[in-house]
Chains A and B, each alone.
Chain A
Amino acid sequence: MSAVVMAWSIGMAQILLALAMACAAFRLLRGPRAQDRIIGLDTLYVNAMLLLLTSGIRSGRTLYFETVLIISLLGFVGTVALAKFLMRGEVIE
């Protein structure tokens, strides 16, 4: 019983997260201004992080946690650098 419940719920959660990634990607491609694209990119990486977490639960391995940590670190740095570029016109002053 538990295997059926787990398989069904993980598949459903992955479908929902993929739809959320599609929404964020649409905003990234379509966004009228640069700040809309940046917030779309931020949402896209957070959703990809959650999708990788559910993949980690599906596989039952702990290897995915390092990947999730690296994605969250690099996504944070990337978003802050892009926002700083919008504000000042250069990233490193």
Chain B
Amino acid sequence: MTTAGELPDWAAVLTAMFLLVGAAVTLTGSLGLLRLRTFYERVHAPTLGTTLGTGCILLASIVYFSAQQTVPALHEFLIAVFATATTPVTLMVLVRAALFRDRSEKADRVPGQEAP
């Protein structure tokens, strides 16, 4: 916190707002991971943190470092593109694996199966 004194007020307020919103949304997603009951409900919750939470905190970082005039905001866009590209791949592979396990064990309440 050595250089924050030079920051203009609007940039500080904007950064603080994006930081708090992003952290709160991420906490909401993780609470959903903790509290929902089945795996197929739980897998939806953390994507709040990976999309909106990551986006808000990266925006806060972009505003802060652009107002400080130290770096262009290239790194943050790289992280945003990478997070956007990898999250759906991860979750689809994981849900396919879970479906495969549940179907091969003939578990009940597997989505996509008709009730007998």
Contacts and interface: CB of A to CB of B under 8 A. Distances in A.
A80 to B, nearest CB: 6
B20 interface: yes
A20 B78 contact: no
Contacts of A62: 65, 70-71, 75
Contacts of A10: 16, 19
A interface, by DSSP: helix, strand, loop or mixed? helix
Interface of B: 1-5, 7-9, 11-13, 15-17, 19-20, 22-24, 26-27, 29-31, 33-34, 39, 42-43, 46, 49-50, 53-54, 57-58, 60-61, 64-65, 68, 70-71, 75-76, 78-79, 82-83, 86, 89-90, 93-94, 96-98, 100-101
15 contacts: A12-B19, A20-B29, A20-B31, A21-B30, A39-B42, A50-B22, A50-B26, A54-B19, A65-B75, A69-B79, A80-B93, A83-B93, A83-B97, A84-B93, A84-B97
Question: Lowest 4 CB-CB distances: which A-B pairs, in order?
Answer: A9-B16, A2-B12, A20-B30, A16-B23
Interface of A: 1-3, 5-10, 12-14, 16-17, 19-21, 23-24, 26-27, 33-36, 38-40, 42-43, 46-47, 49-50, 53-54, 56-58, 60, 62, 65, 68-69, 72-73, 76, 79-80, 83-84, 86-87
